[in-house]
Amino acid sequence: MIACKERPKTTYRSYADYPVYTGTDLGLTYTAGRSVFKLWAPTAEAVQMLLYTEGEGGQPTRTQAMEYGGEGVWKAAFEEDLLGQFYAFQVKINGEWSVEAPDPYAKAVGVNGERGMVVDLKTTNPKGWAQDRQPTLQHKTDAVIYELHVRDLSSDPNSGIRHTGKFLGLTEGGTKSAEGEMTGLDHLKDLGVTHIHLLPAFDYKSIDERIANNPNYNWGYDPQNFNTPEGSYATDPYDGNVRIREFKQMVKTLHENGLRVVMDVVYNHTYQTEESLFEQLVPGYYFRQNPDGTFSNASGTGNETASERPMVRKFIIESLKYWVQEYHIDGFRFDLMAIHDQETMNRISKELHQLDPTILLYGEGWTAGDSPLPEAQRSLKQYISKIDRVAAFSNDIRDALKGHVFEHTQKGFISGLPGQEETVKFGIVASVNHPQIRFDTTMRYSQEPWAAEPHQCITYVEAHDNHTLWDRLLISAPEADEAQRVQMHKLASAIVLTSQGISFLHAGQEFLRTKNGDENSYKSPDSVNRLDWSRKAQYKDEYNYVKGLIALRKNHPAFRMSKTEDIVSNLKFLKINQNNLVGYLLTDHANGDKWRTIVVVFNGNRSEKSVTIPDGEWTQVVDGEQVNEAGIRPVKGGKVTIPAISAMILVQ
C-alpha cells in the first residue's frame, strides 16, 4: 500500500463554487502499456484506488494513492497492463473514508456493478462492427417506435428463443411459436416498426446478477452504473467484456434488419441515495436538496439529480455521447424528463445532433413530484417548443382515447365517453397550432398548443406504465362484449398510426397484450410481463390490422408531415357536431403523397353514424376490419355511413 497524499480540507460556499473540469478524460484511459484513472472529487482530502482480481469479494491486491491535479480531479497512472483487473475508489472527507465505489464513468463492471473493470473496448466489437450502419431515417416523423423490455421478448416458453431474457434473444432469427407464428426478431421485422425502444438496459441495481436466470424481475428504472450494460441480460455477468460485446451484437443485428435502437435512460435519479457512488464520492453535489437540506424527490424514488450543476450536466452529456459513439445507439427516451432543466436538454440535443442529425430524442414531459428547480426551467411538456428537436409524450391523446390513466373506470373516445372530440383532434395534429382546434373547456389538459413542430409530439395510447389498453378496456367497458372491445382496441391503433407526430406502440399492443390487470408490473414476474406469443395466433386479424396500418403510414407521407405549416395547409377537419365522431381531409397530395385527397373518420360510438364528405368517387382502404391500400370497396361521396367503433379511410 502506498501512503495517501492528503491535501488540506476544502470547503465551498455553494455548489456553484465547485471547480469544473473541462477535460473529456474522466474515468479510465486504457492502453496495453498504460492505464490512467481520473476521478472528480473536489471535496476529498485524499483518494485511493483499490485493485482486485475479481469483481466481488477477496482482498485488494494493491492500494494506490491518487494525486490531486487541480479542477477537482485526482489522478493515478500505471505504467503496466492492467487488462482484466477490477478496481474501486475510496475518498477521505472530514477525516473519514467512504465505502468503496466505482467511478461514475466506469465503462465496464464486474458482477452486480460493485467494481469497475479494465477492458480494451476494441476487443469487445463483434465481427463487422466497423461496417455497422443505422437504417435510413429521412424525417423524425417517419419513426414508428416499439417499446420493449429486453426480457419480455423471449421469456415466454412459447417464444422459441434460446437466449431467454438476454440481449442475444433479440438477435435470433427464424424463431416461431408452437402455433407456427413468427416471434422475436422476425416478428419485429414483419410488423414493420422502425425503432426498438428498449426499457433501461444499462446496469441497474435491483436484480442480483449472480443468480442465473434470476426469477426476480424489474423494469430497470433503478440506475447504478450509467455507462455499461445490465449484466443480467448477458450470458456471463462476471466478465465485463461479455455484456458489452453482446449488447453491441444486439444493436448490429437490429440495424442489419432495418431497425434502429432507442435506449430508455434514467439520468433523473439513482437507485440509492446516501449509498450511491455519486454521494460517496462527492457528497451532496449530484442531487438537489430542499431548503432544509433533505434530498428533494421529484422522481418519487427518494432523490433527483441536479442537471443544472455543471459537472452533473457534463456527466449526462458525455454519457449519452458515449452510448452513441461506442454502441451506435440511435435515440434516447428520457425518463421523467421534466426533472432535467431546459438548458441541459438543449445542450444534449445540440451535441447529439452533431454526432447524428437523425437521432431521436424524446421523454416524459412531467415529474413524479415537486422539485426545487423552478417550474419555468423544467423540461415540461408545455415548454417542449423551447427545446430544440426533442419530443414529449402526448398524454392529451392518450387519455382522450382511453380515459384518465389513474381513473381506471373512466371511459374515453374509443369506449364511448362524449366530449373528447376536440382533444382527439388536437392529438391528430400532433399538438401544434392548428386554426380549427378550439382551446376551451372541452380540452382535456392543454389550453394552448405545446409542440412547435410535429416531430415534438409522441402519439400513443399505451406504454409500459399503467394498464395495457386491453386490460383497461376490461375494467372501463365491462358492459361491452369481447368483439366490441377488440374493435375499440383496433380503433385506438388506427388513430395513433394515422395521426401526425411520431407514432409509439407498446410491445404486444399489436395482439392485445394483457398483464392480467397488473397496472404497475415493474417487479412482477415474467408470467405477467412476458409477451404471450399464443395471443398472436389468437388475435391474428388484429395483428394484421396493426401491421397494415404501419405499412399505410410508411407508404403514405400524408400521415407523417414534418412541418406544422403543411399540417395547417393540408389537414382540414370536417364539420361534425356529434359525440365520439371525428373526421378530416388530407388534401392536395399532402406532403407529396400519391393520393390526391384522403378522408379519415373515426367513430367511437356503439352505433353506426353518418357524415358528409366531398362528392366524387372514392376508394375505401381502411375499415373496422382490414387495411388494404389496393382498395376494399368503392364509395360515393356525399352522405356516408361509418359502422360502430371503427375507422374509415377513403382516398382519391
> At 68, which CATH number?
2.60.40.10
Q: Residue 480: inside a domain, yes or no?
A: yes
pLDDT over 70 for what percent of the chain? 99
Final residue in a domain of this structure, among 535, 560, 585: 560
Per-residue pLDDT reduced to its tens digit, 264-311: 999 999 999 999 999 999 999 999 999 999 999 999 999 999 999 999
Read off the pTM.
Answer: 0.97
Query: Among all chains, which residue has been given the C-alpha cell 473514508?
Result: 97
List strand residue ranges (DSSP E) for 106-161, in order: 116-117, 144-148
- What is the C-alpha separation between 445 and 210, in angstroms, rounded? 46
pLDDT exceeds 80 at position 2: no
Smallest CA-to-CA distance from 76 within 43, 123, 29 is with 29
- What is the C-alpha separation between 477 and 471, in angstroms, rounded? 10
* 17 given a catalytic annotation: no
- What is the C-alpha separation between 86 and 103, in angstroms, rounded? 12
Give me the pLDDT at residue 173, please: 98
What CATH number should be reported for the domain holding residue 639? 2.60.40.1180
Query: Do 596 and 589 meet the contact criterion of CB atoms below 8 Å apart?
Result: yes
| CA distances (Å), origin 291, targets 279, 340, 527, 528 | 18, 19, 44, 42
Give me the pLDDT at residue 371, please: 98
Asked if 115 and 145 sit in the same domain, the reply is: no
| Residue 375 belongs to domain spanning | 141-560
Asked if 255 and 352 sit in the same domain, the reply is: yes
Per-residue pLDDT reduced to its tens digit, 183-237: 999 999 999 999 999 999 999 999 999 999 999 999 999 999 999 999 999 999 9
| Residue among 222, 335, 510, 593 flagged as catalytic | 335
Element (H, E) at 188: helix 184-191
pLDDT over 90 for what percent of the chain? 98
**CA angle at residue 531 from 526 to 535, to 5 degrees?**
130
- What is the C-alpha separation between 275 and 217, in angstroms, rounded? 22
* 448 given a catalytic annotation: no
Asked if 593 and 502 sit in the same domain, the reply is: no
Reported as a pLDDT band with limits 50, 70 and 90, residue 442 is confident
- What is the C-alpha separation between 469 and 495, in angstroms, rounded? 14
DSSP string across 291-312: TTSSBP-TTSSS--B-TTSHHH
Q: Residue 453: inside a domain, yes or no?
A: yes
pLDDT exceeds 90 at position 4: no
Note the helical H segments in 429-563.
469-476, 482-498, 526-529, 534-538, 540-555
- What is the C-alpha separation between 233 and 236, in angstroms, rounded? 9
Reported as a pLDDT band with limits 50, 70 and 90, residue 409 is very high
Q: What's the burial of 35, exposed, middle or buried (CB within 10 Å: 0-12/13-18/19+)?
A: buried
Give me the pLDDT at residue 1, please: 44
Per-residue pLDDT reduced to its tens digit, 23-44: 999 999 999 999 999 999 999 9
Sequence-distant (6+) residues with CB within 8 A of 375 are: none
Asked if 541 and 625 sit in the same domain, the reply is: no
- What is the C-alpha separation between 103 and 88, in angstroms, rounded? 7
Asked if 181 and 109 sit in the same domain, the reply is: no
What CATH number should be reported for the domain holding residue 196? 3.20.20.80
Q: Residue 131: inside a domain, yes or no?
A: no
| Pairing mode, strands 116-117 and 223-229 | unpaired
Q: Residue 221: inside a domain, yes or no?
A: yes
Mean local confidence (pLDDT), 45-66: 98
How is residue 158 written as a grid cell? 412459447
- What is the C-alpha separation between 533 and 36, in angstroms, rounded? 49
List strand residue ranges (DSSP E) for 194-268, in order: 195-198, 202-204, 223-229, 260-265
Query: Do 491 and 624 meet the contact criterion of CB atoms below 8 Å apart?
Result: yes
Q: In the predicted model, what is the mean pLDDT of the chain?
A: 97
Q: What are phi and psi of 521, to 5 degrees?
A: -85, 25
Asked if 184 and 41 sit in the same domain, the reply is: no
Q: Residue 1: inside a domain, yes or no?
A: no
Per-residue pLDDT reduced to its tens digit, 235-262: 999 999 999 999 999 999 999 999 999 9
How many Cα atoms within 13 Å fall on the side-chain side of residue 223?
A: 25
**CA angle at residue 305 from 300 to 308, to 5 degrees?**
135
Asked if 475 and 598 sit in the same domain, the reply is: no
Asked if 40 and 119 sit in the same domain, the reply is: yes
Final residue in a domain of this structure, among 98, 124, 150: 124
| Coil vs helix vs strand at 227 | strand
pLDDT exceeds 60 at position 483: yes
Smallest CA-to-CA distance from 139 within 563, 564, 562, 550 is with 562
| Residue among 364, 422, 510, 623 flagged as catalytic | 364
| CA distances (Å), origin 151, targets 51, 184, 235, 363 | 33, 11, 13, 22
- What is the C-alpha separation between 630 and 621, in angstroms, rounded? 7
Per-residue pLDDT reduced to its tens digit, 539-596: 999 999 999 999 999 999 999 999 999 999 999 999 999 999 999 999 999 999 999 9
Smallest CA-to-CA distance from 624 within 644, 594, 600 is with 644
Reported as a pLDDT band with limits 50, 70 and 90, residue 65 is very high
Per-residue pLDDT reduced to its tens digit, 97-129: 999 999 999 999 999 999 999 999 999 999 999
Asked if 81 and 175 sit in the same domain, the reply is: no
> Count of CB atoms within 10 A of residue 194's CB?
22
- What is the C-alpha separation between 469 and 527, in angstroms, rounded? 18
Paired strand residues for 78? 35
pLDDT exceeds 70 at position 368: yes
Asked if 403 and 513 sit in the same domain, the reply is: yes
- What is the C-alpha separation between 650 and 206, in angstroms, rounded? 51
Q: Residue 8: inside a domain, yes or no?
A: no
Give me the pLDDT at residue 8, please: 86
How many Cα atoms within 13 Å fall on the side-chain side of residue 528?
A: 20
| CA distances (Å), origin 458, targets 82, 384, 463, 500, 631 | 46, 12, 12, 9, 29
Q: How many domains does the chain have?
A: 3
Give me the pLDDT at residue 10, please: 87
Per-residue pLDDT reduced to its tens digit, 489-503: 999 999 999 999 999
Helix, strand, coil share of the chain (percent; to 5): 30, 20, 50
Q: Residue 454: inside a domain, yes or no?
A: yes
Paired strand residues for 289? 295
Asked if 499 and 553 sit in the same domain, the reply is: yes
How is residue 104 written as a grid cell? 461514475
Final residue in a domain of this structure, among 530, 560, 590: 560
Asked if 552 and 575 sit in the same domain, the reply is: no
Q: Residue 226: inside a domain, yes or no?
A: yes
pLDDT exceeds 90 at position 441: no
